[in-house]
Amino acid sequence: MSQGNRGMAFEMLLNLINQMYAKQKVALINKRPTPVKVLKSKGTKVLNGFYEAPSTVDYDGVYKGRAIAFEAKSVGIDRFDLKNLHQHQIDYLEKVDNMGGVSFVLIEFRSTKQIFFVPYSTIKHYVHHALKGGRKSIPLVDLEVYAFEVKRTKRSTLDYLEWVDKLIGEVAV
């Protein structure tokens, strides 16, 4: 699978789940397009262009009156390299978190067929330690302890909102 397409199946699955959430009037979560300046096109096909600016994160929307923002990543190894998250994405997740929204990263481990919901607070912890010279990745075994495995529920085949509910419950005043 090419470098650019490694997460496409995961993204397509998330898009279907988000459509299902919208149809059930559970949540409105949208895939954010990357801003592209088109230089040349033929019909609906872009032949030449460039990214105008970095995008924020892959998905955002609203659930139970709260802003939701998350990045989706897919890896083929047993760790998540922090370099897979760009600084502008981390900054955006932090802004959402600071404003009372829910921000997180969904990480698919293709080798073990596991998907983890990683709250921004956990990402922040690992990024902070990496900047101080610590490990530059999050091992799968750490995520099994400090993150939440996303599984099938009655609501969805991949119900990441189950963990949003738990996170909202933890931070509710």
Are 117 and 160 in contact by the 8 Å Cβ rule? The answer is yes
89 is in an annotated binding site: yes
114 is in an annotated binding site: no
Contacts of 137 (CB under 8 A, 6+ apart): 79, 80, 81, 82
Are 118 and 124 in contact by the 8 Å Cβ rule? The answer is no
- Beta strand residue intervals within 14-65, DSSP E: 27-31, 36-42, 45-51, 59-63
56 is in an annotated binding site: yes
- Residues comprising the binding site? 56, 58, 71, 89
- Residues comprising the binding site for Mg(2+)? 56, 58, 71, 89
